[in-house]
Amino acid sequence: MKQNPPTMNADEKELDYSLGEHLPSPGTLTEVAPGVFWLRMFLPFALDHINLWLLRDRYDGRDGWAIVDCCLDQPSAREQWQQIFDHSLEGLPVLRVFVTHLHPDHLGLAHWLCDYWKVPLWISATDYHTAHSLIHPSHPQYREQGLNFLKVHGITDPKVWSAATQRNFQFSHMVPALPPHYVRFYDGLTLTIGRNHWRCISGFGHAPEHIALYCDSMNVLISGDMVLPRISTNISVYHSEPLANPLQLFLDSLKKFGNLPADCLCLPSHGKPFTGLHARIQQLNKHHAERLQELREACAGHAMSACEAMGVLFKRELDGHQSIFALGESLAHLHLLWWAGELQRVTGEVIRFKSIEAVPVH
């Protein structure tokens, strides 16, 4: 059954979707720029799809293709990739696999794709080694630490605890293996992919070291998860880095993308290709500024846990899986204000945050 496209929100109306409502059918490609092709795969989450990209490539004297991002390791994704391999590559091989960052919908099938084509994985060093540690936790208390993180930030809802312990949502289930070696992406690295040069742009806050790719000659940005058209990128604090300030890192990273041309074609990992990069960055800055102001007001004279802050920032009902992300995002906003000296962090059985009383001037 064909679904009607979601209604545009006010922010989306400021963007231009050059392909309209078009979405690639499963197992097919849509050319969005010369030699740049879009494919779309299903995800079993509320965010129900990921955009992947195929680029015409020439590497080590051979013509072929480069893949950008991989999807989860799930049977439907392997089947769609096989359909692409059998019918859409013009008889040419895949020469390289690029991954923007470590999240399972991007990295999950990298081990299978790299082994299938006997090619290297390209990813940032930070994300490769972080992914390795998540697949192979260094000590048996790792899961217990994650659950304690929920507890110390006020989570008592059984559905959230259940989601946190479900195998299907564990990193090692969605990313069961990594290629045994990799080639390092880093900020400023220029890659020749086919006839074009693509510059790596690092981004922080969403992942340890996210890498987007920008082609000046075509004015095309593969933005990954750093700039999305319809939703705001998830920015979370995790139990492995419990005092992090990821939202500040993300907002600082957005400034790099603001230096690109306003009319560049953005190819996001979720949503549709669009133009209007500068407008979207302004929207994201405004969105987070409004959420931060809501927390300033909520914490005035009242010590608030991250769980309580979820009720301030998220007005809709959340399932258990969504609540885990919402907790991380709420904590990211609280931490920005704490690191900025606007909130005091009060430790105890449950960690809370409250406004720092102004010192009266005599």
Confidence at residue 168, expressed as pLDDT on a 0 to 100 scale: 67
Q: What are the structure tokens assigned to 249, written together?
A: 């890192």
Confidence at residue 101, expressed as pLDDT on a 0 to 100 scale: 98
Cα–Cα distance for residue pair 362/359, rounded to 1 Å: 9
Cross-strand pairs, 66: 55, 96
Confidence at residue 3, expressed as pLDDT on a 0 to 100 scale: 42
Residues 189-214 have pLDDT tens digits of: 999 999 999 999 999 999 999 999 99
Residues of the chain with pLDDT under 70: 1-8, 137-142, 167-168, 358-362
Confidence at residue 163, expressed as pLDDT on a 0 to 100 scale: 85
**CA-wise closest residue to 146 among 126, 176, 175, 169:** 169
Cα–Cα distance for residue pair 45/43, rounded to 1 Å: 6
Residues 248-289 have pLDDT tens digits of: 999 999 999 999 999 999 999 999 999 999 999 999 999 999
**CA-wise closest residue to 188 among 214, 208, 206, 207:** 214
Confidence at residue 359, expressed as pLDDT on a 0 to 100 scale: 42
| CA distances from residue 342 to 180, 205, 345, 354 in whole angstroms, order as listed | 45, 20, 10, 9
Q: Which domains does the chain have, with CATH numbers?
A: 12-291 (3.60.15.10)
277 φ/ψ angles, rounded to the nearest 5 degrees: -60, -45
